Amino acid sequence: MTDSTLYVFTLVAIGIAGLIIGSFLNVVIARVPEGRSIVSPGSRCPKCEKPLEWFDNIPVFSWVALRGRCRNCDQSISLRYPLVELANSAAWVVLGWLCLTVWAENWQGLLPLLLVFSSFSIVLTLIDIDHHRLPDAVVFWMYPTSLAGLIFAGLVSGQWPVIQSLVTAAVWLIAIGGVWLLTSGRGMGFGDVKLAPVLGLVLGWVGFGQGFVGLFSAWLLGGLVGLALILLRRARRGTALAFGPFLIAGFWIGMCFGGPVAHWYLGGMSLN
């Protein structure tokens, strides 16, 4: 098997795995906010509650084959289900491509952690938009996952930027937690405070630039969207806005573009 064939095979395998995990993400998104088990009962129609057969639970394919309707009650099934599966698969393939070809070799050890984080990102974004909260049942799992993923990355690369990672986590915690304290929880939810340091921890492992660009991007995106909603009269000053999706978006902006942006900014400063 040639290197190019192995590379394509790897990306296809990652994409298929992403679809399968994406199907599970739908279960998490639907059940965790309601405090229900994600293990049992098995998958069932959200309308008639009848358990699904295995052939009606194949990611994307089953929804298309059934034309978006339940086989038993003929009620429509939300388009969100296949979109979540496709989004997770696409995110996994893009991250696989970036880690294996574009980013430096020492990033390859981060691939498993980044794949899991992309799935966490989809789950938390949709739950926060729907319910305006970030469940501990999801956020707290990110901490041991991050620890395991960073240890694996360190073993693969031989690099252990622990202090850099902890400092960046502390900066994220202070920035988000400070707003929560100063506004007595009105300007920021406590779920955001719990999410912030784990995002900073992973970004800091890659670099200070990624960490600070990610944090700045989260604030910038949140401010711009909030201003746009006010101008469009979809919100008023003081309207609660789910900030978790902006923290997550900032994380990925920092991860993908933080290095070049920080280098450009610091280079510009050195010329002045």
pLDDT tens per residue, range 157-172: 899 999 999 999 999 9
Each residue of 10-43: pLDDT tens digit?
999 999 999 999 999 999 999 999 989 888 887 8
Residue where the block lists tokens 């050890």: 109
Of the residues 71, 102, 133, the one at which a domain ends: 102
Residues 41 and 55 in one domain: yes
Q: Residue 182, Cβ neighbours under 10 Å: how many?
A: 11
For residue 28, the enclosing domain spans 1-102
Sign of CA dihedral 177, 182, 184, 189: negative
Residues 179 and 232 in one domain: yes
Q: First CA to last CA across the chain, in angstroms?
A: 53
Residues 20 and 8 in one domain: yes
Burial class, 145, CB count within 10 angstroms (exposed 0-12 / middle 13-18 / buried 19+): middle
Residues 85 and 121 in one domain: no
Q: What is the DSSP letter of 231?
A: H
Q: Which two tokens stand for residue 169?
A: 């986590």
Residues 122 and 249 in one domain: yes
| 191-223 exposure pattern, b = at least 16 Cβ within 10 A, e = fewer | bbbbbbbbbbbbbbbbbbbbbbbbbbbbbebbe
Residues 63 and 77 in one domain: yes
Residues 135 and 263 in one domain: yes
Of the residues 54, 78, 102, the one at which a domain ends: 102
Query: What is the rounded CA–CA span in Å between residue 246 and residue 144?
Result: 23
Each residue of 47-84: pLDDT tens digit?
787 887 777 788 999 889 888 888 888 788 899 999 99
What are φ and ψ of residue 207, in 5° steps?
Answer: 170, 155
Write down the pLDDT at residue 42.
Answer: 78
Q: Where are the alpha helices (DSSP H) in the chain?
A: 3-31, 61-65, 80-97, 111-131, 136-139, 142-157, 162-182, 190-206, 208-231, 244-271
Residues 186 and 222 in one domain: yes
